[in-house]
Amino acid sequence: MTSPSPVVLVFLDPDAPDGRLADASQPQLMVTDQGAARGDGIFETMLAVDGKVRKIQAHLDRLAGSAEALDLDVPGEDQWRRAIAAGLGQHHVQHPPAAPAADELAVKLVVTRGVDGAVAPTAWVQVSPVGELGRRQRETGIDVILLDRGYDSEVGERAPWLLLGAKTLSYAVNMAALRHAHKQGADDVIFHSSDGRVLEGPTSTVLLAHVEKSADGTTVKRLITPQLDSGILPGTSQGALFIAAKAAGWELGYGPLEPRDLLDADAVWLISSVRLLAPVNRIDGQEIGTPALRKELSDELNLLFAGIE
Ligand code: PLP
């Protein structure tokens, strides 16, 4: 007997208020769907812990923003929430978690422009296990290389049709950058603009920290991310962590950052919804901070991030 696919699919369907369950091991999409043929669509990837999606409103808000940028008419929030609940419920029935710590699931929302001439987009929720590699990298950290994205940092405003601030399905370039890094023995990438500004990772937001003693002997901790208007995707994880860090006494900063700022930092992370905080051990072969300080700051931020709903 074959075990059922570890992926649960729920299509959003006007005739099914809670969505329509579909078999992920069977064909479900038309080859003429413009999502498949052109990468014409948008998505979100979220983390569910113990059956509850984290930062769900921030993801739904960003999905709505991406939809607007692409002139896509996407299903309403209520439909998404019902389909997500149905997907998580079905996954729990088919694959009860072995232990609470193992109960992490990636929940992906996808909308495509549908087949040519379609009146409504194709939309679905996909629930799947979280990959081992990402979980491991939260602990071991990652080696990163800097790569030129080939655009200047103002192109987003000048050429909105590039859709730089939207989470589109067209990730072939991002995946090519990751393969390029892997061939060089690195784990991940930080893009910079052609005018030398730090941007983002192919699937993550860049964070850096500085720890300083102030004149009166108190420790000042500063958490910094690149300028949000430099043609990058606004990260929901970065947004939520900044709120928690501020409440815990951290100072916050928003670029502009140059590669030198990364190399001079006490710690650098790539942060995203499923892998969470991945500490950067080396950039282009140069160690960032010290292992002890990287670990101390990562432990502190991980604790803050774990408290986010
Ligand atoms: N930047 C890019 C290009 C991404 O693809 C992602 C997530 O996949 C992020 C940043 C991080 O976003 P979030 O924290 O919302 O997962």
> Could you say which of 78, 97, 130 is where a domain stops?
130
Ligand 1 pocket test: which of 273, 275, 277, 305 has the largest number of ligand atoms within 8 Å of its C-beta? 273
HSE, CB side, 13 Å, CA atoms: give it for residue 5. 13
For ligand 1, whether the C-beta of 278 sits within 6 Å is no
For ligand 1, whether the C-beta of 273 sits within 6 Å is yes
Distance 51 CA to ligand 1 centre (A): 21
Give residue 214's pLDDT. 82
Q: Is residue 60 part of a domain?
A: yes
- Cα separation, 112 vs 211, whole angstroms: 44
> Could you say which of 130, 154, 187 is where a domain stops?
130
For ligand 1, whether the C-beta of 231 sits within 6 Å is no
Give residue 1's pLDDT. 47
**Same domain for 236 and 162?**
yes
**Same domain for 152 and 281?**
yes
State if pTM tops 0.85: yes
For ligand 1, whether the C-beta of 168 sits within 6 Å is no
- Cα separation, 227 vs 255, whole angstroms: 5
Please check whether residue 255 is in contact with residue 288, taking contact to mean a CB–CB distance below 8 angstroms: no
Distance 82 CA to ligand 1 centre (A): 24
Give residue 101's pLDDT. 57
**Same domain for 149 and 273?**
yes
**Same domain for 159 and 286?**
yes
**Same domain for 183 and 298?**
yes
Q: Running DSSP on this structure, what letter comes out for residue 151?
A: S
Count up the domains in the chain and report the number.
2
- Cα separation, 224 vs 268, whole angstroms: 9
For ligand 1, whether the C-beta of 34 sits within 6 Å is no
**Same domain for 153 and 116?**
no
Which domain range does residue 230 map to?
Answer: 136-306
Q: Running DSSP on this structure, what letter comes out for residue 306?
A: H
> Could you say which of 97, 130, 163 is where a domain stops?
130
**Same domain for 143 and 291?**
yes
CATH number of the domain to which 161 belongs: 3.20.10.10
84: three-class secondary structure by DSSP: helix
Give residue 144's pLDDT. 98
**Same domain for 210 and 242?**
yes
**Same domain for 186 and 266?**
yes
Distance 207 CA to ligand 1 centre (A): 12
CATH number of the domain to which 106 belongs: 3.30.470.10
Ligand 1 pocket test: which of 168, 170, 198, 272 has the largest number of ligand atoms within 8 Å of its C-beta? 272
Q: Is residue 1 part of a domain?
A: no
For ligand 1, whether the C-beta of 235 sits within 6 Å is yes
Q: Whose CA is nearest to atom 4 of ligand 1?
A: 203
Distance 232 CA to ligand 1 centre (A): 9
- CA triplet 148, 154, 159: central angle to 5 degrees? 100
**Same domain for 59 and 123?**
yes
Q: Is residue 181 part of a domain?
A: yes
Q: Which atom of ligand 1 is nearest to the CA of 171?
A: 5
pLDDT (tens place) for every residue of the chain, 309 residues total: 455 689 999 999 989 999 999 999 999 999 999 999 999 999 999 999 999 999 999 999 999 999 999 999 999 999 999 999 999 999 999 888 776 556 899 999 999 999 988 888 999 999 999 999 999 999 999 999 999 999 999 999 999 999 999 999 999 999 999 999 999 999 999 999 999 999 999 999 999 999 998 888 899 999 999 999 899 999 999 999 999 999 999 999 999 999 999 999 999 999 999 999 999 999 999 999 999 999 999 999 999 999 988
